Structure formats: C-alpha cells, structure tokens
Amino acid sequence: MAEGQRPQPQLLRDFQQRFPQVYETYVQLREACDAEGPLSARERELIKVGISAALRREGGLMAHIDRARGVGASPEQIYQAILLTTGLTGFPNTLAAFGIARDRLQGS
C-alpha cells in the first residue's frame, strides 16, 4: 500500500476474493476510461468526487477524496467539486457530502 493510502474496505476485499475475474475486468474498464482522453489524473479524480457526491456513494466519495489528494488536489478543489453538485442534487445531498469530505480531509 502506498504511503498515505488507506486500506480497502473489507466489503471490497471480500468481493475481490469471491469474484476475482469480475473485479479485474472492472479495474481494466476503469483504467481504459481513464486513459481515453486528455484529462489529468487530478481532473479525473475531482470529477469522480463530484459524481460520488451526487450519487450519494459514501464509500466511493471517500475513496475518490483520498485519490484526489494523492494526485495533488487541494481540499478547496475537492470542496468545489462537491459544491458543484448542489444545483443538480440539492442542498441536503451536498451537505451530506461536505460532512464526509470534511471528516475525511481532517483525518488525513
């Protein structure tokens, strides 16, 4: 595990163990999508922060906050990615995502 990287949740590790081929195929798809265009790793992770916030995917949001920090995104950039979801998903959703981000960023 890379320095500063948090361990994967047990649920994900259990899924990988039970369905290794499915998980590896998912990873390959994710990597292919990441490599397809001109966006930087930081830009991609900030987009994924916003998507995770909008879809209320707490685990994904925490993972992409960590990844975004790992590729140089500032806390302010992460917060903005979350704020951008407000008009599309509503204030309560944004507030919940902000709380997750605040706790995650304070713990790093």
Residue 30 and residue 45 in one domain: no
Residue 76 and residue 101 in one domain: yes
Amino acid found at 62 = M
* Sequential pLDDT tens for the chain (108 residues): 444 467 788 999 999 999 999 999 999 999 999 999 999 999 999 999 999 999 999 999 999 999 999 999 999 999 999 999 999 999 999 999 999 999 999 976
Residue 44 and residue 15 in one domain: no
Residue 67 and residue 103 in one domain: yes
Distance CA 75, CA 8 (A): 22
The whole domain housing 25 covers: 8-37
DSSP H helices, the chain, are 10-18, 20-35, 41-54, 58-70, 75-83, 86-89, 91-106
Indicate whether 1 belongs to any domain: no
Query: What pTM, to 2 d.p., does this model score?
Result: 0.87
Residue 33 and residue 68 in one domain: no
